Structure 1
Amino acid sequence: MVVQLFIRSLSLSHQTASCGESSSADKSRRLAIALGTSFGAVLLLILAVVFLIWWRIRKNKQIFFDVNDQYDPEICLGHLRRFTFKELRAATDNFHVKNILGKGGFGIVYKGLLTDGTVVAVKKLKDDNNFGGEVQFQTEVETISLAVHRNLLRLWGFCSTENERILVYPFMANGSVASKLRDQIHGKPVLDWSRRKNIALGTARGLLYLHEQSDPKIIHRDVKAANILLDEDFEAVVGDFGLAKLLDHCDSHVTTAVRGTVGHIAPEYLSTGQSSDKTDVFGFGILLLELITGQKALDFGKTAANQKGVMLDWVKKLHQDGKLNLMVDKSLKNNFDRVELEEMVQVALLCTQFSPSNRPKMSEVLRMLEGEGLVERWEASQNIETPKCRAQESFPKRYADYIEETSLVFEAMELSGPR
């Protein structure tokens, strides 16, 4: 059409010139009108094409993350719901302070009640966390949502707007292991020895899935009692397992900030800022000691004999002296299995060896907790972690020395669900 208009204008100009019926000024005016009309039409056509492309791209992005049965189930996430900000604001009573379940490095967790009566935990991520663009955030959320295991906190949905990033999880009725270690009913601990052993097993299964069965592999980087949640049956559920990846997707290959909690962070992560699945194994070992002692990993009880309050160093000394009974949570009142205690302490010490290459994988940890291969692994470890070998490899003798020597910045991460 544009070409026809252009040819027609040229033809009219030619005819006019041939006939000699118009002046020279008339010819120039008509030619200018013809050319202007042609170029205007071309410009409008280009703008229309650009607008069409932009609209199609935006529509495709929206379709990809809208959960709707009319779209390909291979593309959309049928189990993941996209909430509106209005829905979550209403569910949490405008994110009222009375509904706060916990606060952490990533944001604040609120208790929410959906319109269908479902109780949820709503994690409103901090504004200062750089999560990149909306589409990239949604892609990361999709990856996290694919990790489904009974011992992992399942992501139910999310909300992503220009200014807000919110994650929605099921509500964990019994809060976190950290909170329950301090609770008692009628003078008895809520977490007896049997429950503590089951928590250890459940957590190990969840981490095993993340490390060896999930695709892609996910490293938690802050395994501790505060990040292990408990459902109504006191089943262990690992929380916050995807947020480290979500937060760091735009980081460079050089990590300048260690994300975790001092007292739970592996020595090599403290020294270099580089994490691996073995850093989670170290954190799991500290978690076992939390379950055994009922105390915090750092500054848990400074005394003349334990001035730095580092639980790992304290436990190692008691184990070396054969005084395991002194490390057991006093609230248990000797109601624990002494054979299981010895085994759990040995697994914890294997997991917290300073060299990551000496630590077992989570699949091996789980087998040892279930009573398989611990004796052989423990005997082999005694030939590795001798003072002579430790001196040769320049390992400090105490975990407290690593904490004192590190110059990296710590950014604490907290649970995704209620405490």
Structure 2
Amino acid sequence: MGGAALTLTAKTHLLGLRLYALIGISVTLLLALLLLVIFYFRSALRRQTRVKHASGMISFSMKEIVVGDLKRVGVEKAGDGGKACCSSGDASSSSSEVKAAEGEMRNIGWGRWYTLSELEEATSAFDRRNIIGEGGYGVVYRGVLPNLSVVAVKNLLNNKGQAEKEFKVEVEAIGKVRHKNLVGLLGYCAEAAKRMLVYEYVDNGTLEQWLHGDVGTFSPLTWDIRLKIAIGTAKGIAYLHEGLEPKVVHRDIKSSNILLDKQWNPKVSDFGLAKLLGPDSTFVTTRVMGTFGYVAPEYASTGMLNEASDVYSFGVLLMEIISGRNPVDYGRPVGEVNLVEWFKGMIGRRQGEEVLDPLIEVQPSPRALKRVLLICLRCIDSDAHMRPKMGQIVHMLEGDEFPFRTEQRLTRAGEINSSNACSTGTKRSPLTAHKSGDADEERQMCR
């Protein structure tokens, strides 16, 4: 033992260092080198993970969808063999594009990224028993996350790239929007060709189910509840039109897109057809989309879309809420198939009370009914410029005053008489009043 100790303390030829000191320095250098190698590989792994996640993101440039049809964005996802598949453009991404995607991922500021395996587990492998909605856009599943929160998972059908378009639109339109009457978008999933959106779960079905489903002799939707649903829906749309920049035109307002919670609070959903309208744009020209019976006539004929198109759709929805009838029902007699035409005819014949849904047990007061009927007429005015804004509609639904216009009529002698039989409203020219055919209907309801 003494000989070994003597050897370790012996001086070496390297700078006169003792052997034990030289061994210690060598071990320290080896450990430092090993730590440096580990750090290098961990950094490389982090960079690879960031690129993989960022490549699944989409471009958040609002300018791309302000005018014309939606542009397809390069939604990338790392695939087999380390290759990236792109939905648009070249199959390989430049380093600058990857850096931009990483920046977007860092700055997104809302929601979260869900993996496909997470959503499969939440929905029991997308079990059909968990389906809560189905349509041309895809399928919506009820899902339960590990923290026991319930969500709605919208699995978009990839029909000729439509899933990617709807994914992009919904994220850009309502990704950062928070409003009590708009369904909340919690997160998303984009793996390979899969595009999914994760929403808050609204637990009382759709307005369509409660209006047109089998609810018994009397509907649980009383007049007050229906008015509450109409006001909440109007507030949600008003926020899209007037509370955001760029403004959002929903383009598919209908009863199946109005979700209800247990307190009958409505939430507007399904923004897959939405369009963004910049501050300098009065309309956007696009391919006509929407649901038959709800689409504004001027949009259907010209493809020119703006907020007035949503106002018309809301007017049809309000008629549907009041009457309990579908916008188009081929099972009804001739003259009653189209809800708008039948509704206007009933008002013109002073039979407004007869448009009420017979399943409403307690009818509203004549004054309350007339006020809502007239709001319907104003929303569907054939002159889009004469339709009220959604904020005005909210005020009219909540207020007590009648939303009548002040009419100006030319007499046979050429004199102009102002008719103020009801409360104040927006003035219109005699030509417009005659053209729309609403003036006589409004005057009759004042009596």
- Scaled by the length of structure 2, the TM-score of the pair is 0.65
1:194 equivalent to 2:234? Answer: no
User: Are the equivalent residues in 2 in contact too, given 1:227–1:239 (CA < 8 A)?
Assistant: yes
1:124 equivalent to 2:164? Answer: no
1:286 equivalent to 2:332? Answer: no
The count of aligned residue pairs is: 319
Question: Residues 171-250 of structure 1 correspond to what in structure 2 (within 5 A)?
Answer: 171-183=201-213, 187-241=217-271, 243-245=273-275
Distance in 2 separating the partners of 1:231 and 1:61: 37
Distance in 2 separating the partners of 1:97 and 1:270: 36
- Deviation, 1:337, is 3.0
1:342 equivalent to 2:370? Answer: yes
Task: Check 1:299–1:137 CA distance in 2 against 1; reply closer, same or farther (3 A cut).
Answer: closer
Task: Check 1:378–1:288 CA distance in 2 against 1; reply closer, same or farther (3 A cut).
Answer: farther
Distance in 2 separating the partners of 1:139 and 1:361: 24
- Deviation, 1:106, is 1.6
1:315 equivalent to 2:343? Answer: yes
Question: In structure 2, the residue corresponding to 1:165 is in which secondary structure?
Answer: strand
User: Are the equivalent residues in 2 in contact too, given 1:144–1:242 (CA < 8 A)?
Assistant: no
The one-character-per-residue Cα deviations of 1:62-102 (angstroms, maximum 9, x if unpaired) are 4632xxxxx5xxx232x301100111111112212221111
Distance in 2 separating the partners of 1:114 and 1:160: 18
Match of 2:130 among 78, 99, 123: 99
Match of 1:108 among 139, 142, 167: 139
User: Are the equivalent residues in 2 in contact too, given 1:219–1:241 (CA < 8 A)?
Assistant: no
User: Are the equivalent residues in 2 in contact too, given 1:350–1:381 (CA < 8 A)?
Assistant: no
Question: In structure 2, the residue corresponding to 1:218 is in which secondary structure?
Answer: strand
Distance in 2 separating the partners of 1:298 and 1:116: 43
Match of 2:288 among 237, 245, 258: 258
Distance in 2 separating the partners of 1:113 and 1:133: 25
The one-character-per-residue Cα deviations of 1:304-355 (angstroms, maximum 9, x if unpaired) are 443xx00111011110111112110011134333321111110011000111
Task: Check 1:375–1:59 CA distance in 2 against 1; reply closer, same or farther (3 A cut).
Answer: closer
Distance in 1 separating the partners of 2:255 and 2:101: 38
The one-character-per-residue Cα deviations of 1:284-317 (angstroms, maximum 9, x if unpaired) are 00011011001100016521443xx001110111
Match of 2:298 among 268, 273, 293: 268
Give aligned-pair identity as a percent: 35
User: Are the equivalent residues in 1 in contact too, given 2:248–2:274 (CA < 8 A)?
Assistant: no
User: Are the equivalent residues in 1 in contact too, given 2:169–2:275 (CA < 8 A)?
Assistant: no
User: Are the equivalent residues in 2 in contact too, given 1:121–1:169 (CA < 8 A)?
Assistant: yes
User: Are the equivalent residues in 2 in contact too, given 1:120–1:169 (CA < 8 A)?
Assistant: yes
Question: Residues 24-39 of structure 1 correspond to what in structure 2 (within 5 A)?
Answer: none
Deviates more, 1:190-199 or 1:364-373: 364-373
The one-character-per-residue Cα deviations of 1:37-71 (angstroms, maximum 9, x if unpaired) are xxxxxxxxxxxxxxxx9457436524632xxxxx5
The one-character-per-residue Cα deviations of 1:130-164 (angstroms, maximum 9, x if unpaired) are 25979x95686155212211111110110012211
1:354 equivalent to 2:382? Answer: yes
Partner AA of 1:320 in structure 2 = G
Q: What is the match of residue 326 of structure 1?
A: 354
Distance in 2 separating the partners of 1:163 and 1:217: 30
Distance in 1 separating the partners of 2:119 and 2:226: 34
Q: What is the match of residue 409 of structure 1?
A: none
- Larger relative helix fraction: 1
Distance in 2 separating the partners of 1:133 and 1:281: 28
Q: What is the match of residue 280 of structure 2?
A: none
The one-character-per-residue Cα deviations of 1:207-259 (angstroms, maximum 9, x if unpaired) are 1100011122100111111111112221011111354349xxxxxx863x421
- Deviation, 1:188, is 2.9
Task: Check 1:140–1:110 CA distance in 2 against 1; reply closer, same or farther (3 A cut).
Answer: closer
- Deviation, 1:203, is 0.7
Q: What is the match of residue 26 of structure 1?
A: none
Question: In structure 2, the residue corresponding to 1:377 is in which secondary structure?
Answer: coil
Partner AA of 2:353 in structure 1 = N
- Scaled by the length of structure 1, the TM-score of the pair is 0.70
Distance in 2 separating the partners of 1:132 and 1:97: 20
Task: Check 1:372–1:216 CA distance in 2 against 1; reply closer, same or farther (3 A cut).
Answer: farther
Distance in 2 separating the partners of 1:187 and 1:93: 37
Distance in 1 separating the partners of 2:340 and 2:227: 19
Q: What is the match of residue 422 of structure 2?
A: none
User: Are the equivalent residues in 2 in contact too, given 1:181–1:190 (CA < 8 A)?
Assistant: no
Unaligned runs of 5+ in 1: 1-52, 66-70, 247-252, 392-419
User: Are the equivalent residues in 1 in contact too, given 2:257–2:268 (CA < 8 A)?
Assistant: yes
Q: What is the match of residue 4 of structure 2?
A: none
Task: Check 1:137–1:170 CA distance in 2 against 1; reply closer, same or farther (3 A cut).
Answer: closer
The one-character-per-residue Cα deviations of 1:104-141 (angstroms, maximum 9, x if unpaired) are 2321111111111111111111111525979x956861
The one-character-per-residue Cα deviations of 1:168-227 (angstroms, maximum 9, x if unpaired) are 111111111111123566743121111100111101110110001112210011111111
Distance in 1 separating the partners of 2:132 and 2:163: 27
Q: What is the match of residue 76 of structure 1?
A: 108
Q: What is the match of residue 12 of structure 2?
A: none
1:363 equivalent to 2:391? Answer: yes
Distance in 1 separating the partners of 2:170 and 2:332: 42
Task: Check 1:81–1:188 CA distance in 2 against 1; reply closer, same or farther (3 A cut).
Answer: same
Distance in 1 separating the partners of 2:168 and 2:159: 18
User: Are the equivalent residues in 2 in contact too, given 1:108–1:123 (CA < 8 A)?
Assistant: yes
Taking only aligned residues, the RMSD between alpha carbons, in angstroms, comes to 2.8
